[in-house]
A and B are shown apart, each in its own frame.
Chain A
Amino acid sequence: AQSVTQLGSHVSVSEGALVLLRCNYSSSVPPYLFWYVQYPNQGLQLLLKYTSAATLVKGINGFEAEFKKSETSFHLTKPSAHMSDAAEYFCAVSRSGAGSYQLTFGKGTKLSVIP
């Protein structure tokens, strides 16, 4: 079984401040991890993914995430928030082998950026 916990359903940051969105996962096998962003009334867009090649993963729009096996975490960061970053962010986990089609999402974190 696999699961994802996103700490904080709503995070507010000032424009130009550090963005930190937290994600912890649980998986009985080595996981594949993803961060998706969803703008209002739109589909999900992939920000970045971890597939075991490198623990620090760089994505689009200046976001990056670090896979920490010891902490079972995959937190998303961005050094300086822009107004355009305001959206819903989902962390997701999948796996190899049986059930690999299953993309298990966290409950999401809504990011607000204050001017």
Chain B
Amino acid sequence: DTEVTQTPKHLVMGMTNKKSLKCEQHMGHRAMYWYKQKAKKPPELMFVYSYEKLSINESVPSRFSPECPNSSLLNLHLHALQPEDSALYLCASSQDSGAGFNEQFFGPGTRLTVL
């Protein structure tokens, strides 16, 4: 199984809502990533988890809160978002984060709209 799955596919939320994005992989990868992608732009790295521990936070606002319950699952909790946070949120995984030659496998993304 070489697939990264993400749910939901689409999410619309108000600025006062709390919601979560979910990502799952069963490739035995020990590194997982969250990216944000705006229209016509490349993905921007938000967080890196390595062996279930948060290793990189790219100065992401605290209204985004990642969680890695186990080696296969990655969540992104959303609270009090702003309209400018509307984007495609991509999850990715790789064998580990310490070897640059390991490709990252991307999920299909969650299209988030903040009203």
Bound Cα distance from A51 to B63, whole angstroms: 37
**In the bound complex, do residue A101 and residue B43 qualify as a contact, i.e. CB atoms below 8 Å apart?**
no
- Which partner residue on chain A sits nearest B111 by CB separation? A41
**In the bound complex, do residue B107 and residue A43 qualify as a contact, i.e. CB atoms below 8 Å apart?**
yes
Bound Cα distance from A95 to B101, whole angstroms: 7
Q: Assess whether A103 is interfacial by the CB under 8 Å rule.
A: yes
Query: How many residues of A sit at the interface, in one of the four size bands?
Result: 20 to 34
Q: Assess whether B56 is interfacial by the CB under 8 Å rule.
A: yes
Per-residue contact bits, chain A 94-108, to B (CB 8 Å; 1 contact, 0 not)? 111100111101111
Bound Cα distance from A44 to B104, whole angstroms: 9
What residues of A have a CB within 8 angstroms of the CB of B107 in the complex? 43
- Which partner residue on chain B sits nearest A97 by CB separation? B100
- Across the A-B interface, give the 8 residue pairs with the lowest CB-CB distance, nearest first: A105-B42, A94-B100, A100-B100, A101-B97, A43-B106, A51-B101, A44-B106, A43-B108
Interface, chain A (partner B; CB < 8 A):
32, 34, 36, 41-46, 49, 51, 90, 94-97, 100-103, 105-108
| Interface CB pairs A-B, < 8 A, 8 | A41-B88, A42-B108, A44-B43, A45-B106, A101-B97, A105-B42, A107-B41, A108-B42
